[in-house]
Amino acid sequence: MTAHTDTPGSVTTVYKVTGMSCGHCEGAISAEVSEIPGVTSVKAVASTGEVTVVSTSEPDDEAVRAAVDEAGFELAGRA
């Protein structure tokens, strides 16, 4: 899912991630994904397996996949 927000130039994209089970998992994923250029906000929710990314432009799915992989989890795709 990709949605343009009310903030000009801001794009919100929701991804599904497998393997998250706790707050530590959420923090690890958020830290890695937030390092991607253009990302302004990341919210990972273990209970739903969703990671919401707000960025200045359409995110590079492969960059998100690499960041999630670096955190030790698997990106299942966009929600």
The percent of residues above 70 in pLDDT, for the chain, comes to: 90
CA separation for the pair 43, 54 (Å, rounded):
9
Q: What is the pLDDT of residues 35-51, one digit of tens each?
A: 999 999 999 999 999 99
Q: What is the pLDDT of residues 60-78, one digit of tens each?
A: 999 999 999 999 999 999 9
Confidence of residue 2 (pLDDT cuts 50, 70, 90): low
73 to 4, 11, 21, 31, 57: CA distances (angstroms): 27, 23, 11, 13, 24
